[in-house]
Amino acid sequence: MKNQSIKVLQGKKKHVLETWMKFQLSDESLREDLMSNEELRIQSEELLDAFLTNLKDDTIDDPKSSAFEAVVDILSGISISRAKQGFTPRETGIYIFSLKDALLNILQQEIKDPQELYVQSLKINKLIDSFGVVTFETFIKGREEVILRQTDEISEISTPVIRVWDGILALPIIGTLDSSRTQVVMESLLQEIVETGSSIAILDISGVPAVDSLVAQHLIKTVSATRLMGAECIISGIRPEIAQTVVHLGIDLSQVITKSSLASALRAAFQMLQLTVVKKQRVQSITE
Amino acid sequence: MTIVREIDVIPFRNRLKEIAIKIGMSLVNQTKIITAASELARNMLKYANGGNVTIEVVSKGRENGVRLVFVDEGPGIKDISLAMKDGYSTGKSLGLGLPGTKRLVSEFQIESEVGKGTKVTVTKWKNG
Amino acid sequence: MEKIPILRMGDLLLVTIQVDLYDRLAETLESDLVLMIKKTGAQGVLIDISAVSIIDSFMGRIIGNIATMSKIMDAETVVVGMQPAVAITLVELGLPLNGVLSALNVERGMELLKGKIALKGASFEDDEDGYPE
């Protein structure tokens, strides 16, 4: 015998969809700014379709059954895209739980025997709850993806390599220098050295809050790698407190050219390239 | 793959590079894992007259990576913690092989039994 | 057996490594190069590694050896064109090749070598012919 609720729900598919849509649209938190009602309808219909088609006697008690894979897939897709579009977890939760309301609503109308209604409601309840869990899992995964992407972006934009002069690059480091950041710094700096054929790189650490032995090690690594490429590396922006900690921690920076400010580093770079900056003496040149 | 001659290292490196590219590993990380693999393969040749290495693609959450397992039936390592120290070598190399390799990979595991052989497992994550 | 060619350009030796190195090839290069310095009395050696994608501790050591050996034979060595990924890996490995001069590309390397040789020439003016055959 076919399970009663399956028969009822499959027969009343259109009705279920209408009820579900009604619940969704009547909710205060409906985000028409993020998704049009039409889109929402298409999305909901697709999900309901997959759900009802796979709802069978042997699957109704088993949300992990392979028959529901299609449902889980669609649900994950919806959930991830919602997370990326900026829906709140609450809104996404309401989406799936309002389906439960709709299903139960229909069952209530169709099944007259209270005992049977109770059993069937419980089954649907359990099933949708487990789908709800999937929704939240994927929703959070979607959010994590957004966070990861932003982290990548931050590390990318926070290491701009600036060409200050022909053959001289500057790289202001702002924020903490950890090992993954160092890797990004090294990569972009060395790549830029190759591309511009620069022979001097200035690492400005005025924006680095603190230099401990680990950060110093990262800096020394960057300097070594630059030298291996055949360019020289100057570290500038050594604040007094940094100088103090470096010495107190016993960090050896003697192999590295260090300057207190970017200006003095640039002057040193000019000297290495045998360039001089002179003030224009216009008056003199006219009279002579 | 079996590595018994020095020349076997080259196809092994190429194979590893192909796989690393396939999972979208950055050039720097590719270079690091291949260099690490090269060190370990040399160790295997030098101390154990060769051995076997397997390459597999592994994943942890959304992160993909490459795992290499080097197995040999050589003399084994008596004191692993000593072998992992920078600048220590029983041969006349620089003694950077094992500790340097560890710095190049994301995960490093070594098991060894004197007289039986050595097994080194290294993993490099795509972004790590 | 495979060999890496060594070209002579005036008093300089030019080595371009176009293949991925393996240990024996690197060792052969080391001994060939030292012989060549002796034979030609070269004052400088330029090694172009722009096509090399992997340098591990062994090959790094060979490069260091070449630099030191040629130094005591009175020739300067410059390594040019190291790829960024290789440089980062060498540093991570703990092998910053401190005694080796490096330059961005062949052109810069030549300038560097010529500068070094000119400096030497200034102090020993009659040292131009190098070693007798």
CATH code of the domain in which A214 resides: 3.30.750.24
Q: Which of A101, A117, A152 is the last residue of a domain?
A: A152
A153 and B CB contact within 8 Å = no
Q: What is the extent of the structural domain holding B49?
A: 2-125
d(CA C6, CA A243): 48
pLDDT band of residue A231 (cuts 50, 70, 90) is very high
- Mean pLDDT, range A227-246, rounded to an integer: 91
Secondary structure of residue A189 in the 3-state scheme: helix
**Residue A229 sits in which domain range?**
162-272
Given the structure tokens 């920078």, which residue do they identify?
B86
Give percent of chain B above pLDDT 90.
32
Residues A148 and A179 in one domain: no
- C28, C53, C57, C62: best to mutate for the B interface, most B CBs within 10 A: C57
Residue of chain B whose alpha carbon sits nearest to that of A186: B28
Domain assignment of residue A261, yes or no: yes
Of residues A157 and A171, more confidently modeled: A171
Query: Is A178 at the interface with chain B, CB within 8 A?
Result: no
8 Å CB contact of C103 and A197: no
B2-3: strand order across its sheet: B2-3, B51-60, B63-72, B117-125, B107-113
Same domain, yes or no, for A104 and A82? yes
Quote the CA–CA distance of A202 and C115 in Å, as a whole number.
Answer: 24
The CATH number covering residue A8 comes to 1.10.490.130
**Based on the domain organization, do A73 and A194 belong to the same domain?**
no
Per the structure, the count of domains in chain A is 2
The answer to whether the CB atoms of A187 and B128 lie below 8 A apart is no
Pair A25, A127 in one domain: yes
C76 forms bridges with which residues in the sheet?
C44
A202 with A234, same domain? yes
**Is C56–B39 a contact, with Cβ atoms under 8 angstroms apart?**
yes
Q: Compute the mean pLDDT over every residue in chain A, rounded to the nearest whole number.
A: 83
Residue C108 has pLDDT above 60, yes or no: yes
Residue A281 lies in a domain: no
- Residues 6+ away with beta carbon under 8 Å from B72: B44, B47, B48, B50, B51, B52, B117, B118, B119
CATH code (residue B6) = 3.30.565.10
| Contact state of C103 with A230 under an 8 Å Cβ cutoff | yes
User: What pLDDT, on the 0 to 100 scale, is given for residue C77?
Assistant: 92
Q: Which whole number is the average pLDDT over A13-41?
A: 78
Q: Nearest Cβ partner of B28 from A145, A148, A183?
A: A183
Q: Which residues of C115-124 are buried (b: 16+ CB within 10 A; e: fewer)?
A: ebbeeeeeee
All residues of chain A having their beta carbon less than 8 Å from the beta carbon of residue C97 are 228
Q: Is the same domain home to A61 and A133?
A: yes
Q: List, for residues B53-102, the tens digit of each pLDDT value.
A: 999 999 887 788 999 999 988 888 888 888 887 766 666 555 667 888 99
Question: For chain C, what percent of residues have pLDDT higher than 70?
Answer: 90
What residues have CB less than 8 Å from B7, skipping those under 6 apart? C22
A89 and A198 assigned to the same domain: no
What's the rounded mean pLDDT across residues C4-21? 88
Question: Any idea how long chain C is?
Answer: 133
Q: What are the φ/ψ torsions at residue C73 (nearest 5 degrees)?
A: -100, 15
Residues within 8 A of C (CB atoms), A 189-228 only: 190-191, 193-194, 197, 199, 221, 224-228
List alpha helices for C15-56, DSSP H: 23-40
Count of domains observed in chain B: 1
Query: How many angstroms separate the CA atoms of A187 and A159, rounded?
Result: 10
- Is A240 a member of any domain? yes
- CA nearest to A190 within chain B: B28
Q: First-to-last CA distance in chain C?
A: 28
Report whether B119 contacts B71 (CB < 8 A): yes
Q: Is C18 left (phi over 0), alpha (psi -120 to 50) or beta?
A: alpha
Please write the tens of the pLDDT for every residue from B99-110: 889 989 999 999
Exposure letters C28-41 (e unless 16+ CB within 10 A, then b): ebbeebbebbeebb
Classify residue A257: in a domain, yes or no.
yes
Q: Is the pLDDT of residue C65 over 50?
A: yes
Asked whether the beta carbons of residue A229 and residue C87 sit closer than 8 angstroms, the reply is yes
pLDDT value of residue C31? 92
Query: Same domain for A8 and A116?
Result: yes
> Does residue A147 sit in the same domain as residue A65?
yes
Residues A17 and A144 in one domain: yes
Cβ of residue A183 closer than 8 Å to a chain B Cβ: yes
Report the pLDDT averaged over residues A38-60.
80
Q: Which chains touch C (3 or more CB pairs under 8 A)?
A: A, B
Contact B27 C85 (CB under 8 A): yes
Q: Which of A119, A76, A123, A94 is nearest to A20 (CA)?
A: A94
Taking CB atoms and an 8 Å limit, are B62 and A145 in contact across chains? Answer: yes
CA dist C77 and C10 (Å) reads 15
| Average pLDDT score, chain B | 85
Q: Show the domains of chain C with their CATH numbers.
A: 6-123 (3.30.750.24)
More confident residue, A169 or A252: A169
Closest residue of A to B32, CA-based? A183
C53/B31 touch (CB, cutoff 8 Å), yes or no: yes
Is residue A98 domain-shared with residue A203, that is, in the same domain? Answer: no
Name the helix (H) or strand (E) containing C44: strand C44-48
Same domain, A172 and A146: no
pLDDT tens, residue by residue, A61-119 = 777 777 778 888 888 888 888 887 878 888 888 888 888 888 888 888 888 888 888 88
Task: Flag whether pLDDT at A121 surpasses 50.
Answer: yes
